[in-house]
Amino acid sequence: MAAATALGSAVNPAVNRSGATALLALVLFAGMPTHAAMHYLIVSGLGGEAEYAEKFELQTQQLAEAARGSVAEADNVHVLSGEAATSEAIEQAFAQLALEAQAADSVAVFLLGHGSYDGEQYKFNIPGRDLDGAQFAELLNELAAGSVLVVNATSASGAVLDDWAGDGRTLITATRSGAERNATRFGEYWARALSSDEADLNKNGIVTAREAFDFAERSVADSYDADDALATEHPQLNGDGAERFTAARLIARAVATPQQRELTARLDELEGQIAELREQRESMPDDEYLDQLQSLLVELATARRELDVAVGQDDDDAQPAAQ
């Protein structure tokens, strides 16, 4: 709750310019929050051996739980795994995302499982007909969302680094090329990064794509060192939006009551205004920028406290009466 404490200080009328500067630093490095809505697509392909099937299923569950805790609408999280992760189902899920996610929205696509590369073509191993890299590129290009994160945690995933790049897109792969074809460990640590606070270095309750990548990359390297083994995967990040992309929110945003939905919408609106203000930073005088930033942070802190109270009251109501 370090972020809540820092933001809470913004409501003190006596806050000085140095305090506002500290708050400015918090926003600059906290990551780009959702503007209108966040959408997730999590796809887990074939495991082949039972050991891998179990690992991929666990990673899928961890990521799905993290995603559902990060959005206000549960319908914005799409999960396909095992026998359900067919090419037809994946194509349908992308088509749905293309309709649902607007230009102001953010989309995160996570691919878990095995990939292959024959020197010319990457393929994602799924039940029935595999999808190749070119087909995935076409599906990604159909998305209208202005901010897209794609995490391909499969073996040989580095083969798509160039083909899947695009404007407004952050691409993360488990390997640096298609030649790294062994089963990867990256997915395990990516799931851990989004489902715990280990990757949240500034403890602001938000895990950015950059924080998650750095944690997973470091953990992969450490795991090979611990095994005294030669690393057969080297994670890569392509795109300049990783610091601004909110990969997960550690404070659950899934809400049920009208009051909570209203407060959550207000939070997203304020976070969007802060993001827009940040983009105008270079064209504004320092005093004007800091004044507007401080005002927005005051409103943001107030809305967060009101949501915490609303959620806490519902939790209290749900507790059984003492015997």
- Domain count for the chain, please give it: 2
Q: Is the pLDDT of residue 152 over 80?
A: yes
Q: In the prediction, which pLDDT does 266 show?
A: 80
User: Mean of the pLDDT values across residues 15-21?
Assistant: 39
| Statement to judge: residues 198 and 177 lie in one domain | yes
> Binning pLDDT at 50, 70 and 90, where does residue 74 land?
confident
For the ranges 28-32, 42-46, 118-122, the lowest mean pLDDT is seen at 28-32
Compute the mean pLDDT over every residue in the chain, rounded to the nearest whole number.
Answer: 84
Helix, strand, coil share (%) of the chain residues, nearest 5? 50, 15, 35
Give domain status of residue 323, yes or no.
no
Residue 15, domain extent: 2-30+256-314
Q: In the prediction, which pLDDT does 195 show?
A: 93
Instruction: Indicate the residue among 225, 249, 273 that finishes a domain.
Output: 249
The three state secondary structure string of 58-92 is HHHHHHHHHHHCCCCCHHHEEEEEHHHCCHHHHHH
pLDDT tens-digit map of 153-199: 999 999 999 999 999 999 999 999 999 999 999 999 999 999 999 99
Q: In the prediction, which pLDDT does 17 show?
A: 37
pLDDT tens-digit map of 35-51: 468 999 999 999 988 89
Give domain status of residue 176, yes or no.
yes
| Statement to judge: residues 24 and 47 lie in one domain | no
Instruction: Indicate the residue among 206, 230, 249 that finishes a domain.
Output: 249
Give domain status of residue 321, yes or no.
no
With contact defined as beta carbons under 8 Å apart, do 33 and 268 qualify? yes
